[in-house]
Amino acid sequence: MRFLPDSREPKVAIIGFGYVGCCLGVTLADQGLYVTGIDRNPHLVSELNAGRCHISEPGLSEALEKLRGTSRLTFDTEYDAIKDADVVVIAVGTPIGPDRSLITEQLEEVCATLAPRLRRGQLVVLKSTVAPGTTRGLVRPLLEGGGLVQREDFGLVFCPERLSEGNALSELRELPIIVGGCDPESTHSAAEFWKRALNVPVCEYASPEVAEIVKLADNWWIDHNIALANDLARLCDVFRVDVLQVITGANSLPKGTGHVNILLPSVGVGGYCLTKDPWITWNAARERGVRLKTIETGRAVNDAMPAYTHEAISAELARAGWDPKSAKVAILGAAFKNNTGDLRSTPVKPVVDGLLAAGVTVSLFDPLADPAELRSLMGVEASATLEEAVDGAHCLAVLAGHEPFRQLDFAALRECVPSPCLVFDGRAYYSQETIDELRRLGFDYRGIGR
């Protein structure tokens, strides 16, 4: 059975209007499709109907406002709104528990609620990150609980979300889509849908398990590569060479179909995906008697970077003659990623905790993060301005490389701080020219592996 209309653009319902659902829904509507966003949070739906965006993503608020009041993008709290949809996308959160196993309660609730409302001919697309086997082994039987039969009555595919925060809207229009269906017609229908909807390349696979593992493999690779970069930075520290020079040289080597591609070290790995998805992979393998040691190692290396950072800051303060118990450190940037305000699992949190435990006075400034959320998470009142944060600081710790921090007027800031003052570079990756200028101005400089 074919699961896509021939005569018109397919109508889409997206269940779960968090980060992934919102970015996807707004993009599809902007491309001319009719989209219904379904979320059980009435406050969120009310905000979306008013054109107010709850997601910090460049261009998303403007795109949502442009669609406000049009029939292209509507919102509802009830699942009955899927009745007119041709494609139903599930994009709810899938966290992990203390034992690192996938928590599927929200996904199960969605499927159980969706099942009696499905109609023949609909295509269900799962975008929530899951362990291998979840689409076929959990989602399919739950959806069939409403009386319809997958393949005979409705299609089911797994299409992972692979967006990079800060670039989501452009990547939705560029990145290849991974499609793994529970049957050939589901796969082909989903591939045709994405080509028609977004005009992007589609990689088709004969099973959802391939697509599920593709998503996990991507984030496994990223996390492990960053761990390599972080260990490399620690090596470069003891030999007093610049890790960025080493990485540039190493990445010039052709290998396979590209080049060696070592990523950049930093204060640590945060966010929702990289701290979670490798453990989903690890746990799925463990349940089948396989131990994935590279995941254990990569996670341990990256989780240790905040301690490495606050210990390095304290050591540099002591070397400069400042007692950490009487020193002030200005944390510039608290988000887990440059140029976002996202504080989820940010590695800056344990850095702040470590400095406070050492008796350091900590000020905090992040122009992109919500001040109330900062205060609640960090236990430190956020400074209203950069000048307030750095006033009297013995160290300026740039722990998120937001664009404003790449353009700091260090000559002006020099008047606000004692001498010597350390600039600790956790993620700005200042050029050698900037480092030379800092030293000319009387600052000390230390970076991760620099």
pLDDT in tens, 61-115: 999 999 998 999 999 999 999 999 999 999 999 999 988 889 999 999 999 999 9
Average pLDDT, the chain: 95
DSSP-derived letter for residue 391 is T
Count, residues in the chain: 450
Q: What pTM was estimated for this model as a whole?
A: 0.94
Strand ranges, E, within 299-368: 328-332, 361-365
Q: How far apart are CA 369 and CA 339, in angstroms?
A: 10
Beta strand pairing call for 155-158 and 202-205: unpaired
pLDDT score recorded for residue 100: 86
Strand ranges, E, within 25-170: 35-38, 73-76, 87-90, 123-126, 155-158
pLDDT in tens, 344-364: 999 999 999 999 999 999 999
DSSP-derived letter for residue 102 is B
SS3 content of the chain, % helix, strand, coil (to 5): 45, 15, 40
pLDDT score recorded for residue 272: 85
pLDDT in tens, 253-286: 999 999 999 999 999 999 989 999 999 999 999 9
Residue 7 reports pLDDT greater than 80:
no
Angle formed by the axes of helices 348-357 and 305-319, to 10°?
Answer: 40
Residue found by looking up tokens 């398990």 in the block? 209
Contact yes or no for 130/158 (Cβ under 8 A)? yes
Average pLDDT, integer, range 127-146 = 97
Domains in the chain, CATH or no CATH each: 12-207 (3.40.50.720), 305-447 (3.40.50.720)
pLDDT in tens, 28-44: 999 999 999 999 999 99
Q: Which residues contact 342 (CB under 8 A, 6 or more apart)?
A: 56, 165, 271, 335, 336, 369
Residue 120 reports pLDDT greater than 90:
yes
Beta strand pairing call for 123-126 and 443-447: unpaired
Residue 1 reports pLDDT greater than 80:
no
pLDDT score recorded for residue 6: 76
Q: How far apart are CA 409 and CA 414, in angstroms?
A: 9
Residue 8 reports pLDDT greater than 80:
no
